[in-house]
Amino acid sequence: MLIVMQSHATEEQIRNVCARIESLGLKAHPIPGSLRTAIGITGNKGAVDLAVLETLPGVVECIPVSKPYKLVSRDAKEEDTILRIPAPAGDLVIGGDKIALIAGPCAVESEAQIMAVAEPLAKAGVKLFRGGAFKPRTSPYSFQGHGEAGLKILAKVRERFGMAIITEAIDNESLDLVEKYADVIQIGARNMQNFSLLKRAGRARKPVMLKRGMSATLDEFLMAAEYILSEGNYQVMLCERGVRTFADHSRNTLDLSIIPAVKQRSHLPILADPSHGTGLRRNVLPLSRAAIAAGADGLMIEVHHDPGQALSDGIQSILPGEFVQLAEEVRQIAAVLRRTVN
Ligand code: PEP
Ligand code: MN
């Protein structure tokens, strides 16, 4: 259910409607828009007579939302959600006419490795640096990440180069730590339907990047995001990272068609990860171009200064110099779409 407020409704009227919703044992989610505020209602398990809400001052109408996802839907909020990630060297804006480039190695391997990658990326204008400290690996014998020690190395990157940090949380325990050290919390493909982790991310005070599960449908993807918003965290961006198909020429199939499909249904920004989406260094550039052309709000790219020695995902990691070329091409494609890379 969605309550649409009048365009001139006062703060007090909005607060009053929220209080009435909460008094019915439901949760109210005020969603401010440029024209009007809508208030999403969640938590209604059975039929609750909400007609009374329509009589409150400032309310235009109550609209039943038939889609399984409510808060992430364009019905709840017509305009694009635009995220602002604060960074000492300058804030990063994601969504609207702004395109974001996120780059860094797959994993935090050592301080020397991280600094060797971070320095040229900071020079290339990257504002959000990635690197996994908790690695969800297929094999228990593969490098699992350095945990909190890795997060401390990432925090040094912010201090030294002014970039914000995004890193993955793999369970509720690591999310506590990631929330403490990082600027953006990443939920990986393997955890897209880890509902307790999604709820915990929804209670976090930092923005979340939710990656698409490798066999998730569009609805499942949006429902996973709904979990986060339903707990009160509206700072969510999505990321297409490739799905499993019969194709065996690449690690995954980057499903670019989900980008316009998400944009039609949801106000949340959606980025693309052509590194995991292709699994091959030489395909990262062409799929990056294509993702931006398809309307992606940004890219997440794995970069390593010495990919041959990488402890994870070396074959899909590009060199810092290659990233500079990629960023330049993306800027030019963005300009055609009247968007800017920041
Ligand atoms: C990653 O970004 O390092 C990662 C593990 O990605 P995904 O969850 O998409 O596999
Ligand atoms: Mn990786």
Query: Is residue 94 in some structural domain?
Result: yes
Residues 101 and 47 reside in one and the same domain: no
Atom 10, ligand 1: which residue's CA is nearest? Answer: 189
Q: Which ligand is nearest to the CA of 102?
A: 1
Q: Is 145 exposed, middle or buried (0-12, 13-18, 19+ CB in 10 A)?
A: buried
Q: Is the CB of 106 under 6 A from ligand 1?
A: yes
Residues 195 and 280 reside in one and the same domain: yes
Last-in-domain residue among 15, 30, 63: 63
> Residue 133 pLDDT > 80, yes or no?
yes
| The dihedral sign for the CA sequence 212, 218, 219, 222 | positive
Query: Is residue 328 in some structural domain?
Result: yes
Domain count, the chain: 2
Residues 122 and 24 reside in one and the same domain: no
Residues 197 and 286 reside in one and the same domain: yes
Query: Is residue 155 in some structural domain?
Result: yes
pLDDT at 64: 82
Question: In sequence order, which residues have a C-beta less than 8 Å from that of residue 339 and are 6 or more positions away?
Answer: 97, 98, 99
pLDDT at 46: 64
Residues 178 and 274 reside in one and the same domain: yes
Rounded Cα distance between 161 and 128, Å, is 11
What does the mean pLDDT of the chain come to? Answer: 95
Nearest CA-CA partner of 235 in 42, 19, 41, 83: 83
Rounded Cα distance between 89 and 281, Å, is 29
Query: Is residue 298 in some structural domain?
Result: yes
Interval 271-300: pLDDT, tens: 999 999 999 999 999 999 999 999 999 999
Question: In sequence order, which residues have a C-beta less than 8 Å from that of residue 67 and are 6 or more positions away?
Answer: 73, 75, 265
Residues 133 and 48 reside in one and the same domain: no
Rounded Cα distance between 265 and 223, Å, is 12
Residues 45 and 119 reside in one and the same domain: no
Q: Is the CB of 145 under 6 A from ligand 1?
A: no
Interval 155-202: pLDDT, tens: 999 999 999 999 999 999 999 999 999 999 999 999 999 999 999 999
| Tally: H helices and E strands in the chain | 11, 15
Containing structural domain, residue 25: 2-63
Among 31-40, 143-152, 311-320, the least confident range? 31-40
Rounded Cα distance between 142 and 193, Å, is 23
Q: Is the CB of 132 under 6 A from ligand 1?
A: yes
Residues 141 and 271 reside in one and the same domain: yes
CB-CB contact of 113 with 105 (8 Å): yes
Residues 33 and 97 reside in one and the same domain: no
What distances in angstroms separate CA 114 from CA 111, 156, 209, 231, 236, one per listed residue? Answer: 5, 10, 21, 34, 26
- Which one is predicted more confidently, 331 or 45? 331
Query: Is residue 72 in some structural domain?
Result: no
Atom 1, ligand 1: which residue's CA is nearest? Answer: 106
Using the structure block, give the residue that is written with the tokens 């068609």: 257
Q: What mean pLDDT do residues 301-326 have?
A: 98
pLDDT at 85: 98
Query: Is residue 71 in some structural domain?
Result: no
Residues 165 and 22 reside in one and the same domain: no
Rounded Cα distance between 15 and 75, Å, is 21
Question: In sequence order, which residues have a C-beta less than 8 Å from that of residue 88 and are 6 or more positions away?
Answer: 158, 162
Residues 35 and 100 reside in one and the same domain: no
CATH code of the domain in which 298 resides: 3.20.20.70
Residues 131 and 252 reside in one and the same domain: yes
Atom 4, ligand 1: which residue's CA is nearest? Answer: 188
H or E element in which residue 284 lies = helix 281-293
Query: Is residue 149 in some structural domain?
Result: yes
CATH code of the domain in which 31 resides: 3.30.70.1140
